[in-house]
Structure 1
Amino acid sequence: MCGIVGAVSTRNVVPMLIEGLSRLEYRGYDSSGIALISQSATQPCLERIRVAGRVADLAQKAQHASGLIGIAHTRWATHGAPTEANAHPHLGGDNVMVVHNGIIENFAELKAELIECGFAFSSDTDTEVIAHLIAYELSKAPDFLSAVQEAIRQLKGAFAIGVLNINSPQQVICARQGSPLVIGLGFQESFFASDIAALLPLTQKMIYLEEGDLALLNGQAIQIWDSKNTLVERPIRMLDVCSDSAELGPYRHYMQKEIFEQPVALANTLNQALAAGFAPTLFGEDAAAIFTTATAIRIIACGSSYHAGLVARYWIEAYTGMPVSVDIASEYRYSQGLEQRGTLIIAISQSGETADLLAAIRNAKERGEVKILALCNVAHSTLTREADLSLLTQAGLEIGVASTKAFTTQLAALYVLAGSLANARQTLSEAQLLELANWLPRLPAMISAVLSQESEMENWAQALTHFEHALYLGRNTLFPIALEGALKLKEIAYIHAEGYAAGELKHGPLALVDEDMPIIVCAANDSLFEKLMSNLREVEARGGQIYLIAEPGCEAALPYVKSALILPISTGPLAPIVFSIPLQLLAYHTAHRKGTDVDKPRNLAKSVTVE
């Protein structure tokens, strides 16, 4: 979950490294550092600059540094506290520098062996083991490349690394195993990073490294070896992504910007679907056959993507009659049992690099004859490459750690998937499919209309900042949205919040309700509204303060609530997507009023690439 970037150039790489780190800071921000091979009067020398702080602190400390080759890192701590001593890059012997994203599982055994060989450790990290191990292998190997290859062979776990060697002052080596890594190609210069966001200001010509790949960069040329140490070529891809998408613009925070980008993100995601209707081929050439013959559906995801999967379960079961199970990836991978033959696994991930999810789908393949369908926001990610079918959401870069537009575009894609499954399996009539499809063109305008009610959420936020706890309630497809709303408040406002199915209130949570417990309720104008009204009366009778978000037609609830937001439109089957918007705004404005770091909440990082 750390961010790494490296560069080899004919110009000073320090500004490139600092800019790259600033664009990767959402991946970790406990500490940061850079290492350079700089040219002294007589010979090359290693220079390292580290801070126990943000990239802005590093930029200040490194303002006079210079070098033509370097590596850099922004950290999310796993081994050791966020101190300068634990900050990357780490020194191996006196000639190697390493940056690392991931976790080395056998670091303790390797560390003990290296101490016996005379190496002294100055940090608590697993990364320092890699640095010393490469230095040790350099003492025996014929060259830099061979030493790194031999060291990697001994590592167990997930990693993406960048390595400098003072004795190879024009080269940098990077490698990946279980963590993402991309190479950027410029004019007489080359780069690597854990995310394309770091490289967009420098180039749009990219190479995605495959699992087990190692690359040697020298600015003029790039060589890549696979996991068998065989020299290979990987395709060069031209990305149609503007670096401006990573700019903040007029907004206070990236999260606010990304909330307001949702009408466009949803329109972009739905463009293909609107043209294709609910044609299964949208997900791949073999989709129709796979959809028709699927015997069961299992959705696997983490975090907000898991909540999206819970919503999809309602849609898919309603439109196809197929039973659907939804699993948290980190639980599924350690559970027991075989998969039914013909199961369709729907894997949902914003980054496509989530370690627990990738492990889960690989585990699913071992359990039975299954097909994998990936819903992802990143082209050429590990998830999409390993899946049988895929659909890319078009959310664009999402920098705020708390997911907003990536979540709603996942929901939109899952709605299309539910319709496509129904179409392939002929479980709905043409008229019913057309009715479902007709909601989609309205969605961007519906979201824009709700965004215009932002001021009401600002008013609610003023009240919420004074509470330490909150409950979120919803029914049917709005129950997972209650879970998501509570997660957002926890993530960025640091207020303890829980989401519940409203009917569960009297089975325990009602004991918490008093005048100090705000209850945020999502109400659709549907067949369950009267049931929800009973839940509201239960809360009101016990002095709970109800904040109601409701569709038109739910005005009967107003006497029981402290404050209400009536949405400007009816939302139909797309209610989960539309109701997500005011809950995102509420969490954002509450966090902003409390003065928390909205885009970089404590202890969290964007792309969870470690277990």
Structure 2
Amino acid sequence: MCGIVGYIGNGETQQILLEGLKKLEYRGYDSAGIAVFTEQGLEVTKSKGRIANLEEKLEGTPLLGSVGIGHTRWATHGKPSDVNSHPHTDNSHQFSVVHNGIIENYLDLKEELIAKGHVFVSETDTEVVSHLIAEEYDGNLVEAVQRAVKHMRGAYALGVLTSHEPDKLVAVRYASPLVIGIGEGENFIGSDIPAILEYTRNVYILDDGDMAVLTHDGVELFNLEGKSIAKDIVHIDWDLVTAEKAGFDHFMLKEIYEQPKAYRETMLGRVSEDGKSVDLSKELEMNDEYIRSISKVHIVACGTAYHAGLVGKSVIESLARIPVETDVASEYRYRSPIITPDTLVIVVSQSGETADTLAAMREAQRNGARVLAITNVVGSSVAREANDVIATWAGPEIAVASTKAYSSQLIAFYLLGLHLARVLGTKEEAELTHIIEGLTALPEQVESILEQASVLKQVAESMSHHTSLFFIGRGVDYAVAQEGSLKLKEISYIHSEAYAAGELKHGTLALIEDDIPVIALVTQEGLFEKTLSNITEVKARGAHVFAVTNQGFEAEVAKSVDEVFAIPKTLPVLTPALAVVPLQLISYYASLALGHDVDKPRNLAKSVTVE
């Protein structure tokens, strides 16, 4: 993995490939490369590090031609290096391949190919694909690719070229995203839409087992058996500016400030015009009879999406009174979860392509569960395979560290919890209306927090001088604390941990020492006194405490802490959608103070498409 772009046409192929790769930088990468058919034949240039390194190599020896493929790599097999970078070729240098995903049986295939005389130069699984296609080639590239992938196990999105058929670009997808862009006299492939959005807005979104054959004149679609298939063209109406920084210093900061808009758009059409009811029945296929049959809910996700699920658990249990379990997706199917037909499994994924989440979803479906997906990408694998989908209309999220996608997932959980509560009758209509009024007030309240960013910048700059800090909270505050801690670690590289405040005395107080920063969340009125007691415990051991609380309580909280920041007052169940915003800003400004690459933190990728 991580990013693919391909082009065939009469444009400046090298530049189109490079610009496409730059649009995919948000996915995270450690090397980049391109392959182009030139007058000299198939030529490949690749480099460890940033795309700028690749551009520098190409300055003296540009690759001029009308068809090419490019790739940004995030290492899974073999360390980052020039030789391990994509594109990969066979021994004859007649076949070139870019690949996202993992070929699980590549070692077995490699041994078979070595026995047939093939010589490998890299440590990657992808190089096996180029050799395998070369081995299968008998004059027809499409058939060779079809035969080759039948030998492969795992996940793959492939772009394939051969100098034997230089007027053709072949793409195939299985369990890793790939789109085909349709132009006039030119066509494109990309692992994500932003890679090609500058050149076309008409795309085919490939499903598992789909193959595309691109020429200058058009695109043909087949399945892996060679049968022609028809797909609808999808017109993308995103404004290109949504993939740019729009005047902000970083994508992450831009996306933090886009949260009020993302909140409003995720609620759009789901909250009635009078603001008194929520109805998801038009977009969910599950009917009221099924909802009444649900005996338990499993929420399954990874990373930031998992933290959204922790809030979702509290929302569903408190509003719909259905028991909920939350699981890290990479653990879910290995613990043999008890799944029955009356289990609703909710999977949460920003990209909709998270490999562990997809695997967990498929395991749940094999066991008869209904799956509801919460995702930001409508055409993603998760969205297509789930029984029901709640799309979070946050728009493209470019920064690796998720902000608006996470908070939009919270909005989706609120909408779902309100919908379930209405169907099940677990809350009075007046109470539901009161919660909805609070929900619709959130965007404006987030804007008021953003207006105080300068205060949070000062807090962050002070904290950036420390090598370790802690987050504490109770109830949903603990869930938000976990997300705040992850965000800080992701982009500032400061060690941080989140603890349930009531657990401090059971061992973790041993970690508190003089002047160590502690960020305490104190937004749950029913737990107010308990949390203040826990804050007193860390203060007594020398901690410097920064608290996030509700307006109206800051004076009382200030008596027990060193600094306090007040978020607008809202209902306890809704506070996570506000409390997370100051934590996002603290993480951003701490990273900035330390001079880190905020949008592309080390070792991380935006979309994790391998297990």
TM range (shorter): over 0.9
2:437 partner letter: N
Q: Give the counterpart letter for 1:54 in structure 2.
A: R
CA contact (8 A) 1:571 1:578 kept: no
Give 1:475 shift.
1.4
Tell me which residue corresponds to 1:217: 214
> Which range moves more in the overlay, 345-354 or 270-279?
270-279
Tell me how far apart the structure 2 counterparts of residues 475 and 229 of structure 1 sit (CA, whole Å): 57
Return 512-521 or 488-497, whichever deviates more: 512-521
Aligned mates of 1:340, 1:151 — CA distance in 2? 38
**C-alpha deviation, 1:516, in angstroms:** 4.0
Q: Secondary structure at the residue paired with 2:575?
A: helix
Q: Structure 2: how far apart are the matches of 1:542 and 1:337?
A: 42
Give the drift of 1:560. Answer: 2.3
Tell me how far apart the structure 2 counterparts of residues 194 and 286 of structure 1 sit (CA, whole Å): 31
> What residue is the counterpart of 1:347 in the other structure?
347
**135, 138, 147: which is aligned to 2:144?**
147
In 2, Cα distance between equivalents of 1:395 and 1:5: 24
Displacement, 1:525? 5.2
Contact 1:310 1:326 (C-alpha < 8 Å) held by counterparts: yes
For the 8 Å contact 2:438–2:570, the answer to whether it is kept is no
Tell me how far 1:562 sits from its aligned partner: 1.8
Indicate the residue corresponding to 1:52 in structure 2. 48
Query: For residues 95-152 of structure 1, what are the alpha-carbon distances to aligned partners after superposition, in whole Å with 9 as ceiling and x for unaligned?
Result: 00010111111111111111111111111111111011111111xx341111111111
Specify the alignment match of 2:428 in structure 1. Answer: 429
Q: Aligned residue for 2:546?
A: 547
Normalised to the residue count of structure 1, the TM-score between the two structures is: 0.97
1:602 is aligned to 2:602? yes
3-state SS of paired residue (1:46): strand
CA positional deviation for 1:340: 2.2
Q: How does 1:198-597 map to 2 (within 5 A)?
A: 198-275=195-272, 277-367=277-367, 369-524=368-523, 526-554=525-553, 555-570=555-570, 572-597=572-597
**What secondary structure is seen at the aligned counterpart in 1 of 2:108?**
helix
Aligned counterparts of 1:166 and 1:607: Cα–Cα separation in 2? 32
**Secondary structure of 2:565 counterpart:** strand
Would the alpha carbon gap of residues 219 and 334 (structure 1) be closer, same or farther in structure 2, given more than 3 Å must change?
A: farther
Distance 1:287 1:165 in 2: 51
SS in 2 for 1:372: strand
Deviation at 1:349, TM superposition (A): 0.6
CA contact (8 A) 1:467 1:516 kept: no
Q: Which residue of 1 aligns with 2:124?
A: 125
Distance 1:481 1:86, change over 3 A: same
Q: Give the residue type in structure 1 aligned to 2:425.
A: Q
Question: How far apart, CA to CA, are the structure 2 residues paired with 1:504 and 1:219?
Answer: 64
Q: Deviations over 1:332-366 (max 9, x none)?
A: 02121441221111111101111111110110112
Given that residues 333 and 356 in structure 1 are in contact (C-alpha distance below 8 angstroms), is that contact kept between their aligned partners in structure 2? no
Cα RMSD for the two superposed structures: 1.3
> How far does the alpha carbon of each residue in 1:514-564 deviate from its partner, in whole angstroms, 9 at most, with x for none?
124210011115111011110011111111110111112322221221221
| Cross-structure match for 1:66 | 64
1:47-70 C-alpha deviation (Å, 9 max, x unpaired): 111111111222232243321100
Displacement after TM superposition at 1:426 (Å): 1.2
Tell me, which stretches of 5 or more residues in structure 1 are unaligned?
none
Which segments of 5 or more consecutive residues in structure 2 lack a partner in the other structure? Answer: none
The answer to whether structure 1 residue 162 and structure 2 residue 159 are counterparts is yes
- TM-score normalised by the chain length of structure 2: 0.97
Pairwise CA distance, 1:248: 1.3
Q: 1:80 maps to what in 2? A: 78
Number of residue pairs matched? 604
2: CA distance between counterparts of 1:179 and 1:430? 44
Letter in 1 for 2:126: T
The answer to whether the 8 Å contact 1:280/1:421 transfers is no
- Separation in 2, partners of 1:503, 1:229: 61
| Correspondence for 2:21 | 21
User: Is 2:111 the counterpart of 1:112?
Assistant: yes
| Residues 287 and 592 of structure 1: CA distance in aligned 2, closer, same or farther (over 3 Å) | farther
> Alpha carbons of 1:178 and 1:3: their partners in 2 closer, same or farther (altered >3 Å)?
same
CA contact 2:270–2:280 (8 Å) conserved in 1? no
Judged with a 3 Å threshold, the aligned counterparts in structure 2 of structure 1 residues 597 and 282 are, in CA distance, closer, same or farther, namely farther
Q: Is the 8 A contact 2:475 2:524 kept in 1?
A: no
- 8 A contact 2:146–2:225 mirrored in 1: no
Letter in 2 for 1:183: I
State the alpha-carbon separation in 2 of the partners of residues 286 and 240 from structure 1: 29
Q: Which deviates further from its counterpart, 277-286 or 358-367?
A: 277-286
Aligned mates of 2:224, 2:89 — CA distance in 1:
25
Q: Tell whether the 8 Å contact from 1:552 to 1:570 is kept in structure 2 after alignment.
A: no
Q: Distance in 1 between matches of 2:531 and 2:319?
A: 24
Q: Name the SS for the 2:266 alignment partner.
A: helix
1:567-599 Cα offsets, whole Å, 9 max, x none, are: 244454310010110000000000011011111
